[in-house]
Chain A
């Protein structure tokens, strides 16, 4: 079936986007629109002594200058964390809410102080420069490793310290004796550096308000308009969903950071309401990098108890996770829940102690960034395994063979308490070694050595917990002419959902791929429920919701067909778009839809129309578990510290592939971002909290020349907890690539005496590490 499930159907989205017919937020201009520019804090931490906006208010073109005082007068609410986490002893977490404009204190560089609305963006910018703010600079808490120290400056004095919450899995007593009697204990200390997501589209939004209806409409990029609407409705404006409509036109990438109800969005709606004019904002790259939530930023100590056969008996992980200056809406979800559920990844871990201390600092807030705690967990485990392989003498392969889960273990109750339904991580390792030609590596190493280069090979195994929010909307309408309208609450910000879901619907309903119109969570007035696209949930949750909606359409259609054909519904079959009776009489889906429109053709009790809306609820614990094994082979120039990835093999179990081409695109993108974390990307603050990497001049991103040829190998095992058999597929590369690449570089430099390296492995850092190791061995 040309457009069926599993076919590499070309993306129907691409033509329009590639020829420049995309419609992004900044392409939208509304009649009478004004422009907003934000005044942001130049300090990481300071008291606001006074704000004098009088000159700015008089500047040419200025319509309004708004500060915290006006926000308070208009009752604009502060933005909370949408999760409450309890510490081990039951005390609630420190939960400071984020004011949309700072009142008396700024807490990171980029924090919002005022908004100027003017006739043009340039006039607004001119006026922003005229606002006089008297700050009293305070020492800043910056480095995650030290912000919990007793002498660190405190971001939220009412919290008493920078500790937001210490979460534990309450297993210390069970795990400690295992370590005490272990044959061997392997320990690592490592960091996952802070990263900036950098979607191609910068931050942008435009808001308008209809005073007659009281409805505000906000256009902005997102990962699902309903997610954005939630924060605005419930917390900022304390109103009902019908009063705030959110529309996301084409969105140029999300990576986790675009799913947020950010304070800027609140300010634009508020300004549009106050001023009675549409208000537009476009950030440049630097502003985007200051204020988009950042990702990762963890400092981890981990240890692993091994028995005499080098099998893991217990795992102990102590993590400090940065929160930044404010708690983002769901930022604690990856920081706590995803981090814990993923810990131990694809290994047999009989016992686990896990502590996570969430720490405030005078930095940009932290939230999900592609992978969202899964890469961190994989990096911890793969670093431990690598070291265990070295210290036991078993090497990187044998230590993993002894500890990896295999297909025979499934279903497996993991140490964090989740039932992994399917997968074969051990088989993935064996396949990856074969496809990466592991056996021939020593010969390749010799050839590199002859050219003055060090060559190394490294493994990155992983297992993710995917699926995100457990409910999703699916709705299928069939028109009289057979045309299908499909609605789902996930959101396409580049993934090609219309193509993939079109395949699913085409096959399920037997309709032409081109006869399906796709509507996703881009407009809260069209799709009133949905959790958007994050946590690799779209194929799974959106796919299942649409499948269920299709099934509901078929069920209703069966009753209508049975009624028309004067048969028992149970006797009616549905195949290839035809309802068929045992007599051979049949009706097409379109004919049934036509009948459904006429009450005279309906059996008693059925409403008119062939339009079925379902909420798919997978159950909170029924995640999917994508997993795999990646192998990187690198060459290192020991004179310069430059790493080149020579070969990259990715063996992935993403369950059933609805469209393998699109899944491979996801794999590649994730691998590139993973290699960015491993080799290049690093968000750097100085000790006063100034962001040194706000532009591409200083923040390194992977470029085409850095990307190796990739050998992508599908090794699916079907997910057993959803009928489609699909698993998440968006984040595997970010999990597999960092450990595979770092372990490969460590392998390349093992004769130089290096055993552990801190990401990113930039040339200077690698050169320094080689030099330090040389000096240490000479001493």
Chain B
């Protein structure tokens, strides 16, 4: 780790101000990505702006058909929230499956989205459910947010303050673990929303992406069987020692069908209630 200055402001405007004045300063959310990067000397920030004391960035609120999660809300809080479990059970499940208990108690939704790791879980939720990323200066639709590998639509010094999820009619999330890192090799979020079905895939490509062919098939028939004949092309998907592009493409199909089945199961439960 190289030396850096440390600041821990208690308000968003103070945090943003620091980065406006110093382009080599960095926000620190839960630190689950940044701290290892610093330890390996892969980054040399001038100042670390710790967001942990900004209370307005924390918490979960339900308002009508929307669920808003503060950017500094840890995964464990999202997973354990009865509000989230009731409104979007697939989102609670996703949060409860990230990393391990240490990561879930430190890592935050805002940090995950700012990092935009190609194998992170939260991008699948945001894109798959069609959420909106709220920052200190604007709102960014999920479809516009994820730009490329580790790149987002955030401007320099722009701070995520919250994420607003519309409540889907049903959603299902399925992940398949990398045997080493236990990040997903592939994970799929499927949602039946007011604006139609959405299928978002993480882990497989350089960034989270939607599968249009699956979405239109699900619009016609929201069942696992509707996806049976849809093959995702392997071209352009990630290759590493744990998964070939072909394997990842295959897993997208398997996990999407299982996610639809999981979503249908929650609809069944709703109906039974």
Contact = CB atoms under 8 A, between A and B. Distances in A.
Contacts of B14: none
A122 B4 CA distance: 13
Which of B1, B242, B243 counts the most chain A CB atoms within 10 A? B242
Interface string A653-686: 0000000000000000000000000011010100
A684 B176 contact: no
Contact of A698 (B241, B251, B254): B241
Which of A284, A640, A680 counts the most chain B CB atoms within 10 A? A640
Contacts of A764: 185, 242-244, 247
Contacts of B250: 767
A233 B244 CA distance: 50
Interface in A670-726: 679-680, 682, 684, 692-693, 696-701, 703
A763 interface: yes
A699 B242 contact: no
B181 A767 contact: no
A697 B247 contact: no
Which of B41, B178, B180, B181 counts the most chain A CB atoms within 10 A? B180
A692 B251 contact: no
B244 A697 contact: no
Interface in B239-268: 240-244, 247, 250-251, 254
A419 interface: no
A699 B180 contact: yes
B179 interface: yes
A768 B247 contact: yes
A409 interface: no
Nearest to B41: A125
Nearest to A686: B241
Interface residues on A, range: 20 to 34
Given A122-B1, A764-B242, A703 B254 contact: no
Given A122-B1, A640-B254, A692-B241, A763 B181 contact: no
A84 interface: no
B182 interface: yes
**For the complex, would chain A's binding face be called helix, strand, loop or mixed by DSSP majority?**
loop
Given A697-B181, A703-B182, A768 B242 contact: no
A665 to B, nearest CB: 23
Interface string B35-63: 00001010000000000000000000000
Contacts of A125: 41
B113 to A, nearest CB: 21
Interface in B174-216: 176, 178-182, 185
Which of A284, A679, A692, A762 counts the most chain B CB atoms within 10 A? A762
A231 B125 CA distance: 57
A507 B182 CA distance: 48
Contacts of B240: 698
Contacts of A763: 176, 179, 185, 247
A682 to B, nearest CB: 8
Contacts of B254: 639-640
Nearest to A706: B179
B181 A680 contact: no
A59 B250 CA distance: 53
Contact of B181 (A284, A639, A684, A696): A696
B237 to A, nearest CB: 12
A106 to B, nearest CB: 22
B244 A762 contact: no
Interface string A493-528: 000000000000000000000000000000000000
15 contacts: A680-B179, A693-B241, A696-B180, A696-B181, A697-B181, A698-B242, A699-B180, A700-B178, A700-B180, A703-B182, A763-B185, A763-B247, A764-B185, A767-B247, A768-B247
Given A684-B241, A700-B178, 20 more contacts: A122-B1, A640-B251, A641-B247, A679-B179, A680-B180, A682-B241, A693-B180, A696-B181, A697-B180, A698-B241, A698-B242, A700-B242, A701-B180, A703-B182, A763-B185, A764-B185, A764-B247, A767-B247, A768-B244, A768-B247
Closest 5 CB pairs of A and B: A700-B180, A700-B179, A764-B247, A697-B181, A639-B254
